[in-house]
Amino acid sequence: MTTQRLSFYKSLPKIDLHRHMEGSVRISTLLEVRREHGMPVPGTGQLNDLVQIGQDDRFTTENFLSKFMTLRQFYKSPEIIKRITRETIMDAAADNVRYLELRFSPVALSREENFPLPEVMDWVIDSANETQNELNILVQMIASVNRHESLQLAEQIARLAVDRIERGIVGLDLAGDEARFSGLEFAGIFREARQSGLHVTIHAGEWAGPQSVRNAILHLQAERIGHGIRVLEDPEVAELARSRGIPFETCLTSNVQSGVVQQASAHPLPKMLEMGINATINTDDPSISQITLSDEYSYACEVLNISWASLRERIIAAANAAFLPEDKKKAFVEAFSSEVNRYNLKKNR
């Protein structure tokens, strides 16, 4: 790709609806934490190999998830958690992301040092709000719970999130190993979360098939689907998602690195768009995957041959899918769309 074309993708105003804070930690920060806390690196090899996916790495679900297990050992203090929050937002802003929904797992951040969950959530919220006020970026937060963890933990996180709606937590997310845990037992928690004012996004159709997407939509109150690329395996589920206009938070590189998509050129995003599914483009875990949202936009156009017009539509679709109050969303989408549309004639392909 020419420097001019790469510069074009970097210049685009962007929206990221699916970025995990725990997968966005700078290597330089991890090295500092390791040195300051005298931490041994578990296993063999360099730190990078333990927390990032390289070109020669194994593209499997197990290997991808193993990076998070290493990262959990670094959440050593409130200052580190606040720093990671701040740097994640700074890195998004540097890539010209204008609106970021940052999801984080309070349990993951708290477990290593047994921090109280309410305090962990407050550290993230305070750091995020302070940082976005300094930069040209709007940040809202999504609290994430995992399928393999207890209902009691999920209920606690949901209650704490509801209590913090006025401070910037807008949604509740269900993540984790959907191949072994369906998530249906969490339905009551997510129903109550919706009723209490939280939005809901559900990881589904990534490591499990289209039935996971169906369950997320019909039983878990999903307003958006995280990943969801296996929805195409069942035409009825695909039609359910299409007819309801459910936004899908696709994450291209991540899907390849986790072994869900076997090769880069085979990603189903073009087919999803052809079928009228409301797919958006996001990062998932920028540090683990060693990518930016600019890289994902480039991937969509340069590898998957998504047209510029279609990419522009997907960027604006992400704006429309934002978990913003309707009065604020209207003004935001209008201003953002106007800016994106000014790039109509600038793409040099």
Neighbours of 330 (CB within 10 A): 12
239 is catalytic: no
Angle at 203 between CA 108 and CA 162, to 5 degrees: 60
Alpha helix (H) ranges present in the chain? 3-11, 27-36, 47-51, 61-71, 78-94, 106-111, 117-134, 151-163, 187-195, 210-218, 235-244, 252-257, 269-274, 286-289, 293-298, 308-320, 326-341
The answer to whether residues 147 and 177 touch, using CB atoms and an 8 Å cutoff, is yes
Q: What is the largest CA-CA distance in the chain?
A: 54
The answer to whether residues 305 and 270 touch, using CB atoms and an 8 Å cutoff, is yes
Given the residues 22, 101, 178, 206, the one annotated as active site: 206
The answer to whether residues 112 and 75 touch, using CB atoms and an 8 Å cutoff, is yes
The answer to whether residues 342 and 305 touch, using CB atoms and an 8 Å cutoff, is no
Strand, coil or helix: what is 97? strand
Phi, psi of 65 (to 5 degrees): -70, -25
Which tokens belong to 49? 């190999």
DSSP 151-217: HHHHHHHHHHHHHTGGGTEEEEEEES-TTT---GGGHHHHHHHHHTT-EEEEEESSSS-HHHHHHHH
Per the document, the length of the chain is 349
**Axis-axis angle for helices 151-163, 117-134 (nearest 10):** 40
DSSP 145-168: EETTS-HHHHHHHHHHHHHTGGGT
Hey, which residues are catalytic here?
Answer: 206
